[in-house]
Structure formats: structure tokens, C-alpha cells
Amino acid sequence: MARIIVITSGKGGVGKTTTAAAMAMGLAQRGHRTVVIDFDVGLRNLDLIMGCERRVVYDVVNVINGEANLNQALIRDKRCDSLYVLPASQTRDKEALTMEGVGKVLEDLGKSHDYVVCDSPAGIEHGATMAMYFADDAVVVTNPEVSSVRDSDRMLGILASKSRRAVNNAEPIREHLLLTRYAPERVARGEMLSVDDVQEILSLNLLGVIPDSQAVLNASNAGIPVILDNASDAGQAYSDMVSRYLGEELPMRFLELEKKGLFSRFFGG
């Protein structure tokens, strides 16, 4: 049975889809059979970030309704053989995601994959709760900013009470914190919450810190998961994050300002 990982956040625009794409690609690159599903029915974007938007024929709602089978709907990634994308539906209404339907799709995917990464929509509406219900792991994507941190805490409450594991009194969901859009120079100036601040408030296992980086926009512009950009700080940070998820212990990188040389220290720069 595959492990189901939900990428979640209360607030929108914090980097969930970027994270889902990067994490799925990272797991697949390491040889794990992985599928990434977009649960944002009506506003699908994962296909764009993955760069497969022109290959979408069927979507998750078609599969639930029996209009297509899983093999017809799954899109194999062109860069990595063990990665598949299951897009969200663009037009239908959200209620099309039924609990039984989603459960069945996840169960079927679980038979032939090691990891199922679910990109959930923001907020606590239908699609989001559906993705969270079945999760084994949750990655709570948070920006170092008040509303995002607060909403993340609310999501933790929902994960702890409304998920399948909570309802069945099973071992609770493993919750991880991923801090994104981190700007060390603003933290140093005291203008942005630090990693330690956010961890102190949310007290969660820190899976990674992704620096605020131009590479993320470049990657989404091109439809390439940023983790494939090995040279970039964000790409390396995502790669570290996947390794940590798989059990490696790695120090956090990109938390400090780049050290300035003696010259610029004296003369400004």
C-alpha cells in the first residue's frame, strides 16, 4: 500500500503546488513509483507546474465517474519514468469528489505505487478536506508571515480531528512543517519571523526551509519542477527536504545570509 502524502496549507499562494510537484519529482527521481494528484477541482494548476498541460485528456473526476479508467487518466512524466500526474477537473463542480470515489482512486493507485502525493486546494473546503481525510503524512506549507502561520495551525487542528486516521483512532497522521519563501536577509533585519520563531509557535517537525528564490518563478514559467534545477538554492532545498522525508538527517541550508568579504564589510556593499 502506498503512503499518501497531502500537501496542505490554510492560506493560498504559499507554494503548495510548487511543493507537490517538487516532492513528487524528488521521490520519483530516487526510484519510488510516485503519482501526484491535483485536488483543486475547478482551478487546476499542477499540470502547468509539471509542464504536462497539453497532454491532459481525462481527469480525476472522469475516473471517479467511471468515464475513464486510471491508466487513461494518468500522465507519465517525460523526464522521470516512475512519476505520473493525475490532473484535476477544470469545469465540473467540486461535489464531484465523493468520499467513496476518492477513496477508491487512492486505493487503486496505492496498489501500483509507493507514494501518492496530493496537492490540495487552499482552505478548508471540500477538495481540501477530501485530500486530508485519507492522508498518512501531511506537509504543512507555511510562509513566515502571520496569517499563514495562523492558518497552518488551524489546519493542524483539522488534521488531528477530521482525518481517517483520527476518526478510526489509528496512529495519527505524521505532520511536517515546510517553511517556504524564506528571506534570510529580512530575518536578519528583524522584519520576518525566523525558522525558530515559526517552529516555536507551531511545534512541528521541520522538514525543510525553501528560500525565497527567483528559481521558483523561472521553473513554473517553464513547467519544470524546481527540484530539477540542481544549481538553484530552491532546487537544492527541495532535494534536501525529500531526503529528510525519506529518513536522512541533513542540516538546514540557506538559513543564513551569505557571508560578506572583508572588503564589502569595511566599505559597504
Residue in 68, 201, 252, 255 binding other proteins, rule: CB under 8 A: 201
- 124 lies in the site for other proteins, by CB under 8 A: no
What cell numbers appear for 93 in the block?
463542480
Give the whole-angstrom CA distance, residue 126 versus residue 140.
18
- Is the CB of 59 or the CB of 212 nearer to other proteins? 212
Q: Give the Cα-Cα-Cα angle 256, 259, 262 (nearest 5 degrees).
A: 155
Distance of CA 234 to the CA centre of its chain: 14
CA atoms within 13 A on the CB side of 60: 38
Of 20, 18, 22, nearest in space to 7 by CA: 20
Work out the burial of residue 201: count CB atoms within 10 Å of its CB; fewer than 13 is exposed, 13-18 middle, 19 or more buried.
Answer: middle
- 256 lies in the site for other proteins, by CB under 8 A: no
- 153 lies in the site for other proteins, by CB under 8 A: yes
Please, what is the minimum distance in Å from the beta carbon of residue 163 to other proteins?
Answer: 15
Please, what is the minimum distance in Å from the beta carbon of residue 13 to other proteins?
Answer: 18
Window 179 to 198, contacts with other proteins (CB under 8 A)? 187-194, 197
- Is the CB of 137 or the CB of 145 nearer to other proteins? 145
Please, what is the minimum distance in Å from the beta carbon of residue 266 to other proteins?
Answer: 5
- Is the CB of 96 or the CB of 187 nearer to other proteins? 187
Window 8 to 67, contacts with other proteins (CB under 8 A)? none
- 122 lies in the site for other proteins, by CB under 8 A: no
- Is the CB of 12 or the CB of 157 nearer to other proteins? 157
- 146 lies in the site for other proteins, by CB under 8 A: yes
Rama region for 142: left / alpha / beta (φ>0; ψ in -120 to 50; rest): beta
Per DSSP, 55 falls in state G
End-to-end CA distance of the chain: 55
Please, what is the minimum distance in Å from the beta carbon of residue 208 to other proteins?
Answer: 20
Residue in 171, 259, 263, 266 binding other proteins, rule: CB under 8 A: 266
CA-based torsion, 264, 267, 268, 269: positive or negative = negative
- 265 lies in the site for other proteins, by CB under 8 A: yes
Q: Give the binding site for other proteins (CB under 8 A).
A: 145-146, 149-150, 153-154, 157, 161, 187-194, 197, 200-202, 260, 265-268
